[in-house]
Amino acid sequence: MDDRTARARIRDAAIECFADSGVAGTSVREIAGRAGVSAGLVMHHFGSKDNLRVACDEHVAATIRSQKGSAMGQGAAFDPVSSLRASAGGPPLIRYLARTLVDGSPHVAELVDELVEDAIEYIELGVTTGLIMPSDRPRERAIVLTLWSLGSVVLHEHVERLLGVDMTADLTADPKRSAPYVQAVLDLLTGFITPTTRELLTQAFGDGQETR
């Protein structure tokens, strides 16, 4: 049984449709069809497609905030693979971001700002739990890391072309498929993550090659 409310079903269906075709390329009728409701019910709950897009943005940001916060809160018990699995099975958040971050909407700035503010909080939680190294510039660091991460999502086709890693794919079955990307990131994040965190991530996503 699908125990989500009609509003949640519509929102999740919209995330899927926007991830597939973009906001401009998706009609309210298509969203309604995927959610199994009428177009009138979509409008009843959200008023407009633009309002629905804002609700999707808020849900995506909240989901990422919850996942990252949960992972950072684990401290020494941090399990990268379990964290990855916890994010699977829901709407395609990464594909949604890849589509919507470049659609020119004024809502993009609002979404990025929210993701940055959330990153500041969960990175500092990671510092407290010993997963992340402290910084004299926590806000600036969070901004750069968020923009860097979002950039790789937007350029996911080139990440796959050059590294063979599909950033939008479900990697839960075989996390080590992402090794070329993760190992490079670990090299670049020296001074950000603690040695313990690096070891945990290397064990989970490593390709078997010795890292420096």
Q: What is the pLDDT along the chain (212 residues), one digit of tens a residue?
A: 566 899 999 999 999 999 999 999 999 999 999 999 999 999 999 999 999 999 999 999 999 899 888 888 888 776 666 655 655 656 788 999 999 999 999 999 999 999 999 999 999 999 999 989 999 999 999 999 999 999 999 999 999 999 999 988 877 778 788 889 888 888 888 888 888 888 888 888 876 554 44
Report d(CA 203, CA 173) in Å as an integer: 15
Q: Please report the pLDDT score of residue 192 as a whole number.
A: 83
Model-wide pTM > 0.75: yes
What is the extent of the structural domain holding 113? 6-205
Phi, psi of 48 (to 5 degrees): -160, 165
The count of domains in the chain is 1
Q: Please report the pLDDT score of residue 187 as a whole number.
A: 86
Q: Please report the pLDDT score of residue 74 as a whole number.
A: 82
Q: Please report the pLDDT score of residue 211 as a whole number.
A: 44
Is the residue at 180 inside a domain? yes
Is the residue at 1 inside a domain? no
Q: Please report the pLDDT score of residue 191 as a whole number.
A: 80
Is the residue at 166 inside a domain? yes
Cα 48 versus chain centre, distance: 25
Is the residue at 211 inside a domain? no
Q: Please report the pLDDT score of residue 83 as a whole number.
A: 58
Is the residue at 210 inside a domain? no
Strand partners, 153: none
Q: Extract the tokens encoding 22.
A: 């973009």
Q: Please report the pLDDT score of residue 208 as a whole number.
A: 59
Nearest to 107 by CA among 48, 183, 155: 48
Is the residue at 29 inside a domain? yes
Q: What is the pLDDT of residues 191-205, one digit of tens each?
A: 888 888 888 888 888
Nearest to 59 by CA among 23, 21, 7, 20: 7
Read off the CATH number of the domain in which 125 is found.
1.10.357.10
Q: Please report the pLDDT score of residue 182 as a whole number.
A: 87
